[in-house]
């Protein structure tokens, strides 16, 4: 750490959205270190404000235990409404004594650290930082990094008050300008993807190694499916068993993230399929091998819930997606993204997911069409050098003005 450099702190909840939000913050921080001449530190928000972790735990419970997508939506929106009641629109400029007390640990942290810039990777965290900076009497600039534009439909996550808001898509800027944000303080930088940064969250060198390369030493020409289950529920287990019964001549890997029992249940009944793989964690070698082989295969396919980061990551590597809508309101825009750019298909119900799997595995050329579209989308929209340059151009004036 050089004491002469300006200091940027990136605050990210780790418990909101499993690892997705913190993964986005990790990627953003690394890009920022290369884009501006500053000392950049990434911090988890929960040790500073433990009640954020309590909300994150409730989000996880909602995601795991809701019996249907409709119930999941209802419960999630109920939590958002309770938080919005505690921190209503505009509280940033004139917090009440109760809100001031809840923010006291963040105020103390910012006073001690006194960063030149603080970045919130959830709109809500950025709003909390705006209020805390004011309460601390600091000149720290506040940046809101919008990792998922779907969150902007929730008042909890949108505000005109940060000094700078970075968004991935023009529609997100339009939404913020529509609630009074200064258009000069909202910058469209394009979407960031984690690329291989995901390995830091998915891999563990103590994980059990697989027996030989996935699908053999040479490309098999068979469809190659990665089924990624991150709080997805039993529908993905049923899907794997369905594929085992009807389409055993595929190369399939199932990843039940951080859930060995889920991976064990997925493997039940598939013992005869020696070329299939089941994991709760991967070694780095496995991670790179699976991504590389699915990317090079004309029939590579990722099956998961319809999350924005997962969709963009897959497109970056030229892998089409087959997804099931999650029922989470901030992910409702993702099917439109998938279908508009022909990146694959997002299904509203499990029955549709099963039918599409049967159709595509019976005629793999359907997957190849989406692969070509994903490659084109990545080349035109996911240029990460251009995104990094825009982020640097947007943040640098905040540092120069210090």
Q: What is the pLDDT of residues 237-269, one digit of tens each?
A: 899 999 999 999 899 999 887 788 888 888 887
Q: What are the tokens at 153?
A: 């439909």
CA distance 282 to 292: 14
Strand, helix or coil for residue 119:
strand
Locus of tokens 């979407």: 191
Q: Flag the least confident range among 13-27, 199-213, 214-228.
A: 199-213
Taking alpha carbons only, the member of 129, 131, 114 closest to residue 11 is: 129
* Phi-psi domain of 327 (left: phi exceeds 0; alpha: psi -120 through 50; beta: other): left
Q: What is the DSSP letter of 233?
A: -
What is residue 83's DSSP assignment? H
Contacting residues for 174 by C-beta, under 8 A, at least 6 apart: none
Q: Which fold, 224-382?
A: Rossmann fold (3.40.50)
3-state secondary structure of 187: strand
Integer angstrom CA distances of residue 371 from 223, 314, 319: 12, 10, 6
Residues 237, 242, 247, 249, Cα dihedral to 10°: 40
Give the chain's mean pLDDT: 90
Q: Which of 158-167, 209-218, 297-306 has the highest mean pLDDT?
A: 158-167
Q: Are 151 and 123 in contact (CB under 8 A)?
A: yes
- Cβ-based neighbours of 187, under 8 Å, separated by 6 or more: 164, 165, 166, 167, 173, 390, 394
How many whole angstroms from its chain centre is CA 88? Answer: 26
Q: Which residue has the tokens 């989000």?
A: 59
Task: Give yes or no for residue 26 having a pLDDT over 80.
Answer: yes
Kindly report, as residue ranges, where domains of CATH 3.40.50.2000 are found in the chain. Answer: 224-382
- Decide if 321 contacts 244 (C-beta within 8 A): no
6 pLDDT exceeds 90?
Answer: yes
Does the structure show a pLDDT above 90 at 44? yes
State how beta strands 300-305 and 321-324 pair: parallel
Could you tell me which residues come within 8 angstroms of residue 197 by beta carbon, excluding any fewer than 6 positions away?
23, 26, 27, 30
**Residue that wins the pLDDT comparison between 233 and 378:** 378
Residues in Cβ contact with 195 at an 8 Å cutoff, skipping those fewer than 6 apart = 27, 313, 316, 384
Cβ neighbours of 288 (radius 10 Å): 14
Q: With 90 as the cut, is the pLDDT of residue 22 above it?
A: no
122 vs 198, residue with greater confidence = 122
Residues 6+ apart with CB under 8 A from 268: 241
CATH of the domain spanning 7-188 = 3.40.50
Q: What is the pLDDT of residues 57-91, one digit of tens each?
A: 999 898 878 888 889 889 999 999 999 999 999 99
43: β partners: 11
Task: Quickly count: other Cβ atoms within 10 Å of residue 356's Cβ.
Answer: 18
Strand partners, 8: 40, 117
Nearest 5°: CA angle at 339, between 341 and 16?
Answer: 95
d(CA 206, CA 196): 19
Question: Which backbone phi and psi does 254 adopt, to 5 degrees?
Answer: -110, 130
**What's the pLDDT tens digit per position in 83-135?**
999 999 999 999 999 999 999 999 999 999 999 999 999 999 999 999 999 99
Sign of the C-alpha dihedral, residues 206, 210, 214, 217? positive
Instruction: Give me 173's structure tokens.
Output: 């800027």
Angle at 108 between CA 105 and CA 114, to 5 degrees: 135
């Amino acid at each position: 750490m050089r004491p002469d450099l300006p200091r940027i702190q990136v605050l990210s909840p780790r418990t909101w959205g499993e690892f997705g939000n913190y993964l986005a913050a990790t990627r953003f921080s690394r890009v920022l270190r290369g884009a501006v001449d500053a000392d950049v530190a990434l911090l988890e928000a929960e040790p500073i404000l433990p009640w954020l972790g309590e909300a994150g735990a409730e989000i996880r419970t909602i995601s795991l235990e809701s019996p249907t997508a409709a119930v999941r939506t209802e419960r999630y929106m109920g939590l958002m409404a309770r938080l919005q009641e505690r921190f209503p629109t505009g509280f940033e400029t004139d917090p009440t004594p109760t809100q001031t007390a809840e923010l006291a640990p963040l105020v103390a942290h910012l006073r001690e650290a006194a960063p030149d810039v603080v970045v919130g990777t959830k709109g809500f965290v950025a709003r909390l930082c705006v209020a805390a900076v004011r309460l601390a009497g600091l000149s720290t600039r506040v940046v809101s990094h919008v990792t998922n534009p779907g969150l902007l439909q929730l008042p909890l996550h949108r505000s005109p008050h940060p000094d700078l808001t970075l968004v991935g898509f023009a529609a997100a800027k339009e939404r913020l300008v529509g609630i009074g944000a200064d258009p000069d303080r909202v910058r469209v930088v394009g979407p960031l993807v984690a690329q291989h940064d995901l390995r830091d969250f998915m891999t563990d060198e103590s994980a059990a190694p697989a027996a030989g390369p996935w699908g053999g030493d040479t490309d098999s020409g068979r469809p190659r499916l990665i089924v990624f289950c991150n709080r997805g529920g039993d529908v993905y287990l049923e899907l794997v068993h369905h594929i085992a019964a009807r389409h055993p001549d595929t190369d399939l890997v199932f990843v039940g993230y951080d859930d060995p029992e889920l991976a064990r249940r997925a493997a039940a009944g598939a013992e005869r399929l020696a070329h299939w793989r089941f994991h709760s964690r991967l070694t780095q070698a496995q991670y790179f091998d699976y991504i590389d082989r699915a990317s090079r295969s004309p029939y590579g396919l990722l099956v998961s819930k319809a999350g924005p980061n997962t969709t963009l990551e897959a497109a970056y590597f030229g892998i089409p997606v087959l997804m099931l809508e999650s029922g989470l309101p901030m992910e409702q825009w993702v099917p439109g993204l998938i279908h508009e750019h022909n990146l694959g298909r997002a299904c509203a119900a499990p029955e549709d997911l099963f039918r599409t799997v049967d159709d595509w595995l019976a005629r793999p050329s359907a997957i190849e069409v989406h692969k070509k579209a994903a490659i084109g989308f990545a080349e035109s929209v996911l240029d990460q050098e251009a995104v990094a340059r825009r982020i640097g151009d947007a943040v640098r004036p905040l540092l120069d003005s210090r």
